[in-house]
Amino acid sequence: MNRQQDERTRIREAMDRLLAGQATNSNGSLTIVALAAEAGVHRMALMKRHMDLKGEFYERVRNETRQVPEPEKRLRETVTKLKKTIANQKAEIEDLRQQVTRLALAGAVLTQKSDDKEETTPVTGNVITFPRPKS
pTM of the predicted model over 0.85: no
Per-residue pLDDT, 71: 78
CA distance 123 to 87: 55
pLDDT in tens, 48-100: 888 898 888 888 888 887 777 777 888 899 999 999 999 999 999 999 999 99
Q: Please, which pLDDT band fits residue 1 given cuts at 50, 70 and 90?
A: low
Reply yes or no on whether the pLDDT at 131 is more than 80. Answer: no
